[in-house]
Chains A and B, each alone.
Chain A
C-alpha cells in the first residue's frame, strides 16, 4: 500500500476513537461560579464523543453532568468562587464513569431524588431533588462515593451498549 493509502487507513481507524484498551483519565476543574459548568460539560462531551457515544447519549450525559455540577457549585461548595469543582472521567470496558466532587462545605450526599413535579414545585433555593431526579433517569448508574476529604462526590456511569428507550412520538394529534 502506498503512503497515501496507508494514511487514509490510519485516519479512518482513528477518526473518533482516541481510546484503546488502556484506561485513561481526563480531569476538569473549575471555580464554583454558575456558568462555568457549561465549559466542563463541553469538555466531557468532547471526550465522550471520541469514546464513541452517540448523539442522543451525549445529550443525556450533558444534562446529567450539568445537574451534578450545579449541585456541587451551589450546595457542596456554597458558591464560594475560590473553591473548585473537580470532574474526573474514566473510560474503560465500554463504560464512562464520571465523578463530580466538591469540598463538602455543605453535605448533601444523603439526599434522594424527588418523586415528580406535582409533589413539589421546586423553589429557587432547592433544586437538588429535581437535579437528582433528572440524573437518576438519564444515567445507567449513579451514587455518592465516600471521600476521605469529606467532600461530596457523585459518580455517574454511562454504558456504551445500552439500548436507548424509544422516544414516544410527540402528542401532536388533535
Chain B
C-alpha cells in the first residue's frame, strides 16, 4: 500500500471512530442533506456539526455541493471500500498463515485420531 493510500485509510478509519460522525454518515446514507438539516438533527451546535462535517470531508467520506447559499452534503462510500479491501487482503493472509501453522504444528506432533481442520 502506498503512503497516500495508507494516510487515506487512516483518515477514513479515524473519521469513523466518532459516534456523531457515524450518525452523520448514516443520515447521509438515507439522502443528501444541508448542513443546517444535520445541525438540527443532532443535539450539538452548528459549529460542532460543521467540525464533524469537515473531518468527514477530509476523509473523503462526504462531498459538499454549493447551490447558491445552500451547502448540500452527500455521502461518498468509496473510501469505505478501500478500508474494506485492506481487510480482505488480511483475511487471505491470515487464512494462509493458519493453514501453514496447522501444517507446522500437526506435522511435529501427530495425533493418532487426527481430524481434518476445515
Determine if chain A interacts with chain B. Answer: no
Interface, chain A (partner B; CB < 8 A): none
Interface, chain B (partner A; CB < 8 A): none
